[in-house]
């Protein structure tokens, strides 16, 4: 019989495949992916690693996920940055014109949710990405509900950080999530806590953070959940993301037309 550490090392090749598959899912490099135990934790690791200070502004949308907004409040009470909520347009999506009008030199983060938990709204994430890029403002996207429901491509969207969960549309095990951090932003991120996996202990007064998204991971991980997550991602990739999205759209059209008939 082998022990859990031996089993972990035997599974190493398979767990490394997790990064390759997750990066294929969202079109990034495998070293830009961190395995984290849920989407909220993944989002927190990115948000709490940013160096915000008094007088900075964080822009978000009305449909931001509740836990994310709580984290804004939690940190702004301590630091004193301003939280500014972008208006909705007539369709309930965040209004790109209002976002553009709210940009000034104090904006240090744009953080929004792609598809909120309820209601079927889809925010114009690529438009937000173009504005964020124009002003070189870090862009954090909560893609928990959009991953696998529809194709999510971080290059097309232009986000710097993205969080996702293992459940929901991916249909993998709960208690798994991942974080994408673009290689361009990684050096600016100071994780809220570190361990012997995310950093190297060099000497009594020196440590070095891992140069990849692994700086957001912990050494101890749920290996079976990670492999379950890998299986779910590979399954989605084998079906094809556009094909899955086409199937969802058929259900969405059916749902909306039934609702309209019901309201008549
Ligand atoms: C938009 C959104 N973000 C984040 C989460 C939280 O995900 P997790 O339970 O993996 O932390 C949810 C959960 O449903 C969600 O809908």
Do residues 43 and 131 lie in contact, with contact meaning Cβ atoms separated by under 8 Å?
no
Q: Is the CB of 113 under 6 A from ligand 1?
A: yes
pLDDT in tens, 224-256: 999 999 999 999 999 999 999 999 888 878 777
Question: 33-36 and 199-203 as β-strands: parallel, antiparallel, unpaired?
Answer: unpaired
> In this structure, what DSSP letter does residue 1 have?
-
Q: Which is the closest atom of ligand 1 to the Cα of 168?
A: 14
Residue closest to 148 by CA, chosen among 33, 26, 250: 26
Q: Is the CB of 117 under 6 A from ligand 1?
A: yes
pLDDT in tens, 141-187: 999 999 999 999 999 999 999 999 877 788 888 888 999 999 999 99
Q: What percent of the chain has pLDDT over 70?
A: 97
Whole-number Å distance, alpha carbon 264 to ligand 1 midpoint, is 34
259/100 Cα distance (integer angstroms): 35
Q: Is the CB of 112 under 6 A from ligand 1?
A: no
Count of H-run helices and E-run strands, the chain: 9, 9
The protein residue with its alpha carbon nearest to ligand 1, atom 3, reads 144
pTM comes to 0.94
For the chain, the first-to-last Cα distance in angstroms comes to 66
Query: Where are the strands (E) in the chain, listed by range?
Result: 33-36, 57-61, 82-86, 107-113, 139-142, 161-165, 177-181, 199-203, 206-209
Whole-number Å distance, alpha carbon 165 to ligand 1 midpoint, is 7
Spatial strand order in the sheet of 177-181: 33-36, 177-181, 161-165, 139-142, 107-113, 57-61, 82-86
Q: Is the CB of 23 under 6 A from ligand 1?
A: no
- Phi/psi for 202 (5° steps) reads -90, -45
Whole-number Å distance, alpha carbon 137 to ligand 1 midpoint, is 24
Q: Which is the closest atom of ligand 1 to the Cα of 114?
A: 1
Radius of gyration for the chain, computed over Cα atoms and rounded to the nearest angstrom? 19
Q: Is the CB of 44 under 6 A from ligand 1?
A: no
pLDDT in tens, 94-131: 999 999 999 999 999 999 999 999 888 999 999 999 99
pLDDT in tens, 53-91: 999 999 999 999 999 999 999 999 999 999 999 999 999
């Amino acid at each position: 019989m082998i022990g859990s550490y031996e089993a972990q090392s035997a599974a190493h090749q398979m767990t490394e495949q997790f990064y390759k598959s997750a990066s294929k899912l969202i079109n990034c490099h495998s070293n830009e992916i961190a395995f984290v135990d849920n989407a909220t934790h993944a989002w927190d690791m990115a948000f709490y690693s940013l160096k915000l200070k008094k007088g900075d502004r964080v822009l978000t949308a009305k449909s931001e996920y509740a836990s994310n907004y709580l984290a804004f409040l939690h940190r702004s009470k301590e630091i004193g940055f301003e939280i500014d909520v972008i208006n909705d347009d007539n369709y309930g999506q965040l209004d790109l014109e209002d976002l553009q009008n709210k940009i000034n030199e104090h904006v240090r983060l744009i953080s929004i949710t792609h598809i909120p938990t309820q209601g079927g709204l889809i925010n114009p994430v690529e438009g937000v990405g173009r504005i964020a890029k124009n002003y070189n403002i870090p862009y954090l996207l909560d893609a928990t509900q959009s991953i696998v429901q529809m194709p999510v491509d971080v290059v097309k969207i232009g986000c710097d950080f993205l969080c996702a969960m293992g459940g929901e549309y991916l249909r993998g095990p709960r208690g798994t999530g991942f974080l994408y951090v673009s290689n361009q932003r990684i050096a600016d991120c100071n994780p809220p806590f570190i361990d012997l996996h995310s950093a190297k202990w060099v000497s009594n007064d020196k440590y070095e953070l891992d140069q990849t998204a692994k700086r957001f991971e912990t050494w101890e991980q749920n290996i079976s959940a990670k492999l379950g997550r890998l299986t779910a991602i590979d399954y989605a990739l084998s079906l094809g993301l556009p094909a899955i999205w086409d199937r969802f759209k058929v259900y969405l059209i059916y749902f909306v037309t039934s609702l309209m008939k019901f309201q008549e």
